[in-house]
Amino acid sequence: MKFGKEFKQQKVPEWTEAYVDYNGLKRILHKVQQFRQHERPTTPRVSQQLSLYRPFSGLDVKSSSKDTKGDVEDQVIAVETIQNGDSREVYNTNFLPSPKEGEQSEIMFFEKLDEELNKVNTFYRDKVEEVIVEAASLNKQMNALIALRIKVKQPDINKCHIQRNVSMDSSSTESSNSNSPNREDTTATESRHMDSKFVEEKINDACRNRVNPDKNESHPLDILDRVRINNTLENPMSTIRSVLNDSKDKDLRFKKEELKEAEGRLKVVIIEFYHKLHLLKRYSYVNLLAFSKILKKYEKISLRKAARSYMRTVDDSYIGSSDEITLLLDRVESTFIKYFAKSNHREGMKLLRPKRKREKHRVTFFSGFFSGCSIALLIAIILLIQARKLMNKEEHAMYIENVFPLYSLYAYITLHMLLYAANIYFWKHCRINYPFIFEFKQGTELSYQDVFLFSVGLAVLTLGTFLVHLNMKVDSVSSKYTELVPLGLLVVFLAILLCPFKILYKSSRVFLIRCLFRCICAPLYKVSLADFFLADQLTSQIQAMRCLEFYICYYGLRWYQREQKCHTLDLYNIFYIIIAVIPFWLRFLQCVRRLFEEKDWAHLYNGSRYFLTIIAVVLRTVFELKMEKSWKVLALVSSVAAILFNTYWDIAIDWGLLQRKSKNIFLRNKLAVSRKYVYFVVMALDVILRLSWLQLVLKFNIRALKGTSISTLFSLLEIFRRGVWMFFRLENEHLNNVGKYRAFKSVPLPFSYYEEDEDKVE
């Protein structure tokens, strides 16, 4: 693989603009090459062959040292280091050959090289300063945690004086010990024994040193007098308590549950901090390698020796000489292993190291196998209906129309999953960091092959069940068992979704269920992007939710003969409207929660959009049930208003398009898709698919569609529209993160200090 492609793959997507512009430097070198080829005549083939007969220079060290000395004397550049106003170095390279001997593109090359070196140094220095400040904060958090551990395990510890010798800064010696072979072979039993004895040893040391305490040293447990537990509002009870008490923090109670909660939070914080350090270390490495590669290309093209001189400057710069990240990595490793892995080096590093998703060949095999099976089953169903002429028989036609909602539920879900798999493929192709945006646990995110396998597997299960059910009905098998086939399929589907065993992508299923629960409990949970993203997907699955209602009517009330029987019940019609409103209402509550937390009025406008949609859905559904002209006017007006508002919000806010001052006309400055016409196509498509919902109000006469086929078709089109919306919504979110260099999720710290609050007040 060429270095250019490897360099692109190694980039952190959110930091792309902060890396060396390797392709830009290569374009300048291409101009240098063109100039050299034009000025220098081609070397005859005979002279190239004669060069093989030159005298052998030898392999001894003396000859090579002479060549090195000659290289230094023949340098063509001089790099100046200028101190900036904020005590930072700025590098400026002077091209030594005269303009007659040199070429303007080579001067441009070194100007560009200086610009990239200054950019990389500035970015890296800023990030290092950030992590140093964050490390100091984590050091205070660790002191508070260790003091809390001692206080919880020994409530009477105030009688003794404890030496302050536990901190992240004093753990450098532990780093060397943690890498020793003996620590690698430490068993789990020994680790638990060491951890249980740790607090006791600290207590005994404190009691021994109580006779001669250091007067200048503060009591380590005094830190607990200035510490509170942060209330992150992560559950409904904490949210309710915060509203009633109007307090964000709570005092320490020195209980085991409190200690467990603090340890869990700080553990996650340190793991995220460690990943951040690893990305910074990789950032430094790949940029230094990029400078080395591009300078070698320059020497090869220009036949001038400048790489060694400039690389010496790069090595002496901040990104080349700074070792803070390496030291912090060692100290974080030793601290985490000692206090969170019970001194077990292997287990600690297993938790710290980023997990990589491995592609499995069996996923590809079964995806193709199930795809073929689903196509074959679909053809078999069509041939069975045509061969038996089931649609011509009134009894069978009515039965198929009656059970159609029972199976169309899985068609909606399968289509949505197929679109999600396609989006994952294009997100990965466009280098959109979807695992970070959705906050997936590293190494557990699903690839597009996994989602595609799950969707085609569900399609095979549904089509196979429907074929069996149809055969049983045609062959006049006992109706008692025939009617239970769709219910059995639903039970199997729910069993797969709620399976507690570690099979069938358990981590992803748990993540989906957790997000769904948080959506249902809105606004009691803090809203994350995954939560409101899922709520937006539910707004396109209204017909699928109505299918679940029909399941209850079909099996609970035992009206098997006609679907219209359910619509004759007032209770069914009431819930028919309520179910259509639920997704928009949940989304409205999420907007209210974000409005109170973030104090951003954009959430008020967004919430009003969903409230307007609720009114339109209610009026449209009432008209669908009653078919009265007075309701038709109200439904038409409200639907048009909701469609216009939602369409503008989709394109201008969610996708960030239609910007007036953009360098890309009617789009935005940054685009992940290289072909601009794609954006205009999807904008037109969004408008058309939004307006298609007016068919349910205007009731155009479409002969090919009858009964529930119309609502099913437009529900599938809405799911398709949502799938297109999904890609560009996440693209816009990713580009916003890129603009702010936001590559890490913010994790709340477990403790807050009184002294910090006092400083803010002052």
SS3 of 500-533: the string is CCCCCCHHHHHHHHHHHHHHHCCCCCCCCHHHHH
Calpha distance 196→235 (Å, rounded): 31
Query: How far, rounded to the nearest angstrom, does the alpha carbon of residue 171 sit from its chain's CA centroid?
Result: 33
**Phi (first) and psi of residue 616, to 5 degrees:** -65, -40
Whether 150 is covered by a domain: the verdict is yes
Whether 523 is covered by a domain: the verdict is no
- Predicted pLDDT of residue 523: 87
Q: For residue 686, which amino acid is it?
A: D
Whether 6 is covered by a domain: the verdict is yes
pLDDT in tens, 255-268: 788 888 888 889 88
**Residue length, the chain?**
762
Whether 123 is covered by a domain: the verdict is yes
Contact 436, 349 (CB under 8 A): no
Reference 150, options 210, 194, 206; nearest CA is 206
The residue ranges of the chain whose pLDDT is under 50 are 43-48, 50-51, 61-73, 159, 161-200, 202-203, 205-217, 559-563, 756-762
* pTM for this predicted structure: 0.82
Residues 6+ apart with CB under 8 A from 393: none
Calpha distance 652→674 (Å, rounded): 19
Contact 346, 183 (CB under 8 A): no
Strand order in the sheet with 227-230: 249-251, 227-230, 751-753
In this structure, the number of other CB atoms found within 10 A of the CB of residue 124 comes to 21
Secondary structure (3-state) at 74: coil
Whether 332 is covered by a domain: the verdict is yes
Whether 140 is covered by a domain: the verdict is yes
Reference 316, options 344, 291, 286, 353; nearest CA is 291
Contact 345, 186 (CB under 8 A): yes
- Predicted pLDDT of residue 418: 96
Contact 589, 522 (CB under 8 A): yes
The single residue listed with the structure tokens 């190694």 is 10
H-run or E-run covering 80: strand 77-83
- Predicted pLDDT of residue 233: 58
Residues 6+ apart with CB under 8 A from 451: 417, 420, 421, 424
pLDDT in tens, 463-507: 999 998 888 877 765 566 777 888 899 999 999 999 988 888 898
First-to-last CA distance in the chain?
Answer: 58
Whether 275 is covered by a domain: the verdict is yes
Range of the domain at 114: 1-37+74-155+221-230+253-355
Calpha distance 373→459 (Å, rounded): 9
Contact 700, 691 (CB under 8 A): no
**Exposure string (b/e) for 275-303, b if CB count within 10 Å is 16 or more?**
bbbebbeebbebbbebbbbbbebbeebbe
- Predicted pLDDT of residue 237: 64
Reference 421, options 444, 455, 371; nearest CA is 455
- Predicted pLDDT of residue 59: 53
**And the tokens for 128?**
């290092």
DSSP string of 657-695?
---TT-SSTTS-S--SSS-THHHHHHHHHHHHHHHGGGH
When divided into structural domains, the chain yields a total of 1
Contact 453, 364 (CB under 8 A): no
Calpha distance 470→464 (Å, rounded): 10
Percent of the chain past pLDDT 90, that is, above it, reads: 34
Calpha distance 629→124 (Å, rounded): 67
Q: Using only the alpha carbons of the chain, give its radius of gyration.
A: 33
Helix axes 104-153, 22-39, angle to 10 degrees: 160
- Predicted pLDDT of residue 706: 57
Whether 306 is covered by a domain: the verdict is yes
Q: For residue 749, which amino acid is it?
A: L
**And the tokens for 317?**
């710069």
